[in-house]
Structure 1
């Protein structure tokens, strides 16, 4: 039995009827690599049943404390009903990309059943007309509550469900006895809640004492101007109450194109490139709607703070920073350089405060008050009245660099999905797999009624940035045969080189 942390529990408290708080993704597989060239649904159910037993988050149920006096508990349920959790569906003909995205959007919009382990998986067949994939492929869409996992732990769970080769053997999956925990008594949970309540003031004082020096230095840096806090965030169509309906779509591109942009403007990062693509797409989309604000949009960027001893553990180990997307800059090169500066400023501020400090304070979140406040905010449409803290979410979830196999079927590509919530109706996930790079977006359907248009904006933004990088590369001479040093760097690179030398190694996990 394990009690949820304040951060884990917050995703339960913030969930409303229109804002399910689960994350997930859909993956496309080629069954031709499997033994016999086919993968049957029965095989997938048996495979998920065996592998999921290794993952506590997939076999545990939620147990709430009476009167919500404390954070809930995860209780090992031992086994689970695989036919409830693993479902089968097929696209109608012709089975194209748009149909797949619509189906994923509808499934993603449905909340999970809290009386069971908080995850579901859908096997989707009929992908016979999805461009770029061989006929006969199938997709697997999975979703799991954010209270159970974050992006990093989701990648680790994904590795348990997959193999490194197609010639897997079922006998390697040892049939261990399911671990079942006795459900805690209500009186025991109430007694533990009272003890935790008595300890809270002392823990709060201790945390504040430890955090005081860094908070003081951060405040001092902000006042002096050495540290910059993002402010004046404009309101957009994505910053109001969300509907219960969702849309999903994605940009899929060669990783080599992203690396070429990074190389042209070194020392920018892969993450800077992705944020710049998103900023350009949002600029183009809002311009087309005559809704582009004069000031820059900002994104919440989660930071992975999972330490080595927490690797393989479920739950959330994330903090966050706010990054300007520089939608106020039309030129793609100048926007990239400005985004790089913004991410460096955000990292410096986060490091000054302490990334873990911000999440530690969530442990003191009152459960009943938070859940009631979330429902009240939704019913009163407060998101439509208060100034936003950020306009969207952009998260970086690096995937494996080697091919993976599921029941012998080769994984071709993976697209992460996330929650769209009140005041933040657009969620964008950056990911990679082997030599492919993806940006997947999940949004409220009323805020983004034309996902194909926004997907095209992403493609256009990438194309303009790639063209600018190629022009930059042509203007930068290479080393001669004698090994003479390269001529002076371009003005674009000079502007960011000095600040980037002092970048902290902590912060957002980035692909190099």
Structure 2
């Protein structure tokens, strides 16, 4: 039995029928590379074999009415691969648009909390003979870094099936114990939490004070609730729209080297340009620059004494996107400057503070408040916290094989929220920059226009290099 951290559990509490809290990995594979030929049954059986050494895929949630703390993970003794791996064909003619429409429908479904919180859809019938694999995993059990690690467990450097790690085979979340769950939960709630609160408050009070001081010298990242309103900052429905774009990593590096910036700066600059093009095309471009929330992994950072463990080890920084500038080079240079300011400011804030405060997340209360917030469309009653969530995750720069099939693209897709209805996630792998865009159909049914704008913005920067 393993108790969820407050941040992990928060993604359970925040979930509603309109606000699904799962992360998606859309993987395109070449079935012709599978040793002995591709078949769905062969792929499913190989995954079942590997899951014996993937303990995170075998654990499920457990809770009790007497437990006043966060839920726990336990081993699923009745694990059945057929409840998790499904087969479906994309409608004709099997192009990107049909694939995205099917995946958008699947993305709008909640995961069954009675079993391990993941499922894999094998999508056949693509026009180019390829196969797609759509992996949905709840955010309570994965973040950007651990998601990449889970993908790595499904992938290898060659088509041949790997040997299983005997230590991972023996690893387990353990059985349930309602008595232990209730007693340790009460100990956490009544003893450890008050002590943690007393330790947290002094450091937390300093954050807004230092933020105000930095803002006077223009060295602060933008504060929450100061972003201009866009069509994405509205209540969402369960309907999802997604689009993908794949850019050459060599082209991105060429721009990076030409203008002496970082890859993340190029990502933020072309994101700003793509959103500028899209909003300008709808005559909705704000005069002020858009504000992005950029998740920052704290994997490998020193654990705070106030919080340890948990899957989601992430915090976030706010960054302006320079979407108010039309020239792509000016926008890139400004994006790099704004990103440096935000990074310097963010570095002065305890990386574990968000996770520490999340320990106090009240489950039933937070879930009720979130449902009320969505039902009453309260996202329209206050300024947007930020405009878009932009993640950049570095993957392996070499070929991978997904259960024996060569991977040609990996598109990550993160969740959207009421009032924050656009998520752009970038994953670099095998010489490509793969961009996954997820939004609500009611907010942007033409989301492919944003995806196409990414390619256009990178070409403008390459022209500037020439």
1:183 to 160, 176, 194: 176
Q: How does 1:290-301 map to 2 (within 5 A)?
A: 290-301=283-294
Distance 2:196 2:177 in 1: 25
Q: 1:299 to 1:16 in 2, by over 3 A?
A: same
2:321 and 2:391 mapped to 1: Cα distance? Answer: 13
Q: Which residue of 2 aligns with 1:499?
A: none
Return 363-372 or 426-435, whichever deviates more.
363-372
Please point out which of 232, 242, 263 is paired with 2:236: 242
Q: Please report how far the alpha carbon of residue 118 of structure 1 lies from its aligned counterpart in structure 2 after TM superposition.
A: 0.2
RMSD, aligned α-carbons: 2.2
List alignment gaps of at least 5 residues for structure 1. Answer: 130-134, 471-512
Distance 1:296 1:156, change over 3 A: same
Once the two structures are TM-superposed, the CA of residue 78 in structure 1 deviates from its matched residue by 4.2
Q: How does 1:72-471 map to 2 (within 5 A)?
A: 72-78=71-77, 80-127=79-126, 129=127, 135-168=128-161, 176=169, 179=172, 181-185=174-178, 187-199=179-191, 200-209=193-202, 217-223=210-216, 225-230=218-223, 232-266=226-260, 268-307=261-300, 315-470=311-466
Cα distance change of structure 1 residues 465 and 422 upon mapping to structure 2, 3 Å threshold: same
- Listed as ranges, the gaps of 5+ residues in structure 2 are 304-308
Shift of 1:320: 0.1
Contact 2:295 2:316 in 1 (8 A): yes
Kindly state the Cα deviation for residue 147 of structure 1 after the two structures are TM-superposed.
Answer: 0.4
Q: 1:64 to 1:88 in 2, by over 3 A?
A: same
Q: Distance in 2 between matches of 1:270 and 1:384?
A: 34
Q: 1:22 corresponds to which residue?
A: 22
**TM-score for the superposition, normalised by structure 2:** 0.93
Q: Give the direction of change, closer, same or farther, for the CA distance of 1:189–1:173 in structure 2 (3 Å limit).
A: closer
1:49 Cα shift? 1.2
Q: CA contact under 8 A between 2:33 and 2:404: conserved in structure 1?
A: yes
* Counterparts in 2 of 1:453 and 1:217: CA distance versus 1, 3 Å: closer
Query: Which of structures 1 and 2 has the bigger CA Rg?
Result: 1
1:200-229 Cα deviation digits (max 9, x unpaired):
111111233466667765554345544343
**Contact 1:420 1:427 survives alignment (8 Å):** yes
Over residues 287-323 of structure 1, what are the superposed CA-to-partner deviations in whole Å (9 max), with x where a residue is unaligned?
Answer: 111111111111110001011799xx87100000011
SS across alignment from 1:413: strand
SS in 2 for 1:353: coil
Once the two structures are TM-superposed, the CA of residue 432 in structure 1 deviates from its matched residue by 1.2
1:314/1:46 Cα in 2 relative to 1: closer, same or farther (>3 Å)? Answer: farther
Give the structure 1 partner of residue 3 of structure 2. Answer: 3
Distance 2:221 2:447 in 1: 34
Cα offset for 1:409? Answer: 1.3
Give the Å deviation of 1:193: 2.5
Aligned length: 458
Deviation by residue 1:5-63 (Cα, 9 ceiling, x = unmatched):
11111111111111110002111111222223x22111111111122232232111111
C-alpha distance 177-60 of structure 1, shift in aligned 2 (>3 A): same
Equivalent residues of 1:53, 1:178 under 8 A apart = no
Q: How far apart in 1 are the matches of 2:377 and 2:447?
A: 24
Residue 464 of structure 1 and its aligned partner are, at CA, apart by 1.6
- How far off is 1:348 after superposition? 1.4
Instruction: Tell me the secondary structure at the aligned position of residue 24 of structure 1.
Output: strand
For the residues of structure 2 that align with 1:293 and 1:67, how far apart are their CA atoms?
50
State the SS of the aligned residue for 2:156: coil
Match of 2:306 in 1: none
CA distance in 1, matches of 2:209, 2:131: 54
- Which piece of structure 1 moves more, 407-416 or 118-127? 407-416
Answer whether contact 2:235 2:419 (CA < 8 A) is retained: yes
